[in-house]
Structure 1
């Protein structure tokens, strides 16, 4: 079996430690899940302590979901104490035989975009899972987003190993490959602060070897607004593509001679975004002489000098890079390049540079 690389680094802001060489695909959890031993007397006392911390915060008939439930021992304890609730454990490697009649085990990953709306949990549990992930914060932020999106704001209980004692005593064995992330008390508090500015509790347990916290997801209007803006942009993108390509097709059918100004960077992105291929739109020019004779990446046109528009003029010049359109128009005028119309794309339409209202003049 090959040795896997360890290169632990520390965040100087919050103190979090992680292995920047970690690759989740190298850990064979599918064939042999790395479950911690959890049947000792002291560990059972710890579980009972955790259970007592959680119960006062639950409603009478709670829906409790555990992410990465393993053998679902904590869910079973909660179900025994409060059998009126519903208890669901998610773990793709779980044994489907439930440890308690009131616990439902699903051998699958918990997916916030699906399961939050389906189950509407009062509490999400995650114990000794986040330290194994490539990016635990990204997972929690994804969950926080969908909580805001669906207007579902459950409690969140998280437990992970605490690295503080290992750092104080110089222990080396804590730093092994399966544990990518190592939380200190400081980094754990910083982590939970991304869910809510004021966690309900943060404590250490099991001889200060683990740290756990309870907090509640809260509405984040910024999450929702950014997501809605992105969806609106995507919808507009499809409309823009149809409008621009329809207009260009109409020009071609009318026999108009057309050149596109801008063949690299954003210009190349424009040509590729609108699928302006070499066969239908062979003429591409650029202001930069060093680009002349090179090819537009993706669509294949040879980039020509702008001076070719003086000797072989076109009727329509389509400027592909709005951010420097004023410079290009000044070049066209200064070099006395003939044209009938200069077009740019604005608000999803091809518009006349001189006649339309736009912010690029």
Structure 2
């Protein structure tokens, strides 16, 4: 059987190819339009619903979704279910979370809606701080919770609130980048002094594959989670302690110990250290170039495009102080260094007017260039390369090239 594949990146695992799943055509919003008349209901704009499935993690999503089509700030996403089974599920998951928390915890619910869940946590606890975030301002602070009418910003807000638990119930299915949120929560938790749990819950579409029902698929739910794809997403947040189903299998939830593996944290720390050193290196080499420019020595830069142009930019080798840029590639001769404007001349210019110092920005080509200089009778008192945050003498100083 020939497969039709779609160029679409999975929002859970980032797999780059998807399979067609359900093309529903164009439909209105289903839960957040709130029309006030039959006429306005019929006149609602229609949006493309074209659900695809990730063949790697099994996630299903509408790859034609546009987040700005949904009026979250004016119309809250309200869930209404007053059934006894649902109430029992809420109580069970609330007890699961509270049973793992310290006394008087700080709990943040992201996308809290009318805040019934986080308020229930507050009412069942002896003290603590319970905070709801939602861009819709219909809920007020009080009745045991604080409310912030904005989106939760994980990297900043985790540091500010230092929560013991994050709750995300029936929110991830609305997000175009759910993995971004959970990974940023993991990094936020890794940076705070106290450990943090994540309790997440979403609708589960496992039964769709058994029953082939279609009403599950509507515009506001850009993502449709299977148990497998939900597990894949939660694994990106940290250590999955509990993953289970509720409400007769219609929802799947997880309790996750938020965190980032030590090797990944170490790599981020190494990157931050490198970033700090780049500032020092740029300043140091720029100072060396400034001293060369005022020394009276004739300086040539060998190469004026690609990485050589990057060198010229990073270390402020401007055309006024460093006008001489040479290359042995005839196709580059007569062109100009991007951004700074030195005209690139043929290397033979160094035969008639030798340079005292030749700087070779492409270190890995330095041996070939030095051999070319020897072959062509081009001499200089020093050939310099960038290494270890400094300009060093290629012929005299230690380096790996």
Pair 1:191 & 2:237 matched: no
Pair 1:313 & 2:367 matched: no
C-alpha distance in structure 2 between counterparts of 1:176 and 1:278, whole Å: 60
C-alpha distance in structure 2 between counterparts of 1:166 and 1:287, whole Å: 65
Partner of 1:145: 187
**Ranges in structure 2 where 5+ consecutive residues have no aligned partner:** 1-43
Kept in 2, the 8 Å contact 1:145–1:223? The answer is no
Return closer, same or farther for 1:288/1:11 CA change in 2, 3 Å cut-off: farther
C-alpha distance in structure 2 between counterparts of 1:303 and 1:168, whole Å: 68
SS of the aligned residue for 1:187 comes to helix
Deviations 1:9-40 (A, max 9, x none): 3332211223344443444423334x043243
TM-score, scaled to structure 2: 0.81
The structure 2 residue matched to 1:203, chosen from 222, 244, 250, is 244
Pair 1:224 & 2:300 matched: no
What's the offset of the Cα at 1:269? 1.7
Partner of 2:395: 354
Return closer, same or farther for 1:209/1:295 CA change in 2, 3 Å cut-off: farther
C-alpha distance in structure 1 between counterparts of 2:64 and 2:320, whole Å: 46
C-alpha distance in structure 1 between counterparts of 2:334 and 2:63, whole Å: 43
What's the offset of the Cα at 1:282? 2.4
The structure 2 residue matched to 1:119, chosen from 152, 161, 175, is 161
Return closer, same or farther for 1:10/1:276 CA change in 2, 3 Å cut-off: farther
C-alpha distance in structure 1 between counterparts of 2:304 and 2:251, whole Å: 57
Deviations 1:267-298 (A, max 9, x none): 22222222323333222223433222333333
Partner of 2:220: 178
C-alpha distance in structure 2 between counterparts of 1:27 and 1:270, whole Å: 47
Partner of 1:293: 334
SS of the aligned residue for 1:325 comes to helix
C-alpha distance in structure 2 between counterparts of 1:5 and 1:89, whole Å: 32
SS of the aligned residue for 2:305 comes to coil
C-alpha distance in structure 2 between counterparts of 1:322 and 1:85, whole Å: 59
C-alpha distance in structure 2 between counterparts of 1:79 and 1:238, whole Å: 48
Deviates most, 170-179 or 327-336: 170-179
Pair 1:108 & 2:108 matched: no
Partner of 1:54: 97
Give the RMSD, CA atoms, in angstroms.
2.3
Kept in 1, the 8 Å contact 2:154–2:181? The answer is no
Kept in 1, the 8 Å contact 2:186–2:238? The answer is no
C-alpha distance in structure 1 between counterparts of 2:49 and 2:343, whole Å: 48
What's the offset of the Cα at 1:109? 2.5
Deviations 1:119-154 (A, max 9, x none): 222211011222222321122112212222334321
Kept in 1, the 8 Å contact 2:359–2:384? The answer is yes
Deviates most, 219-228 or 82-91: 219-228
Partner of 2:196: 154
Partner of 2:123: 80
Return closer, same or farther for 1:285/1:163 CA change in 2, 3 Å cut-off: farther
Partner of 2:35: none
Kept in 2, the 8 Å contact 1:148–1:221? The answer is no
SS of the aligned residue for 1:337 comes to coil
What's the offset of the Cα at 1:325? 2.3
Partner of 2:57: 14
C-alpha distance in structure 2 between counterparts of 1:144 and 1:338, whole Å: 57
Instruction: Report the structure, 1 or 2, having the larger helix content.
Output: 1
**Ranges in structure 1 where 5+ consecutive residues have no aligned partner:** none
Deviates most, 305-314 or 208-217: 305-314
Partner of 2:287: 246
What's the offset of the Cα at 1:176? 3.8
TM-score, scaled to structure 1: 0.89
C-alpha distance in structure 1 between counterparts of 2:308 and 2:293, whole Å: 20
Partner of 1:164: 206
Partner of 1:213: 254
Kept in 2, the 8 Å contact 1:51–1:78? The answer is yes
Aligned residues: 357
Kept in 2, the 8 Å contact 1:38–1:44? The answer is no
Kept in 2, the 8 Å contact 1:127–1:158? The answer is yes
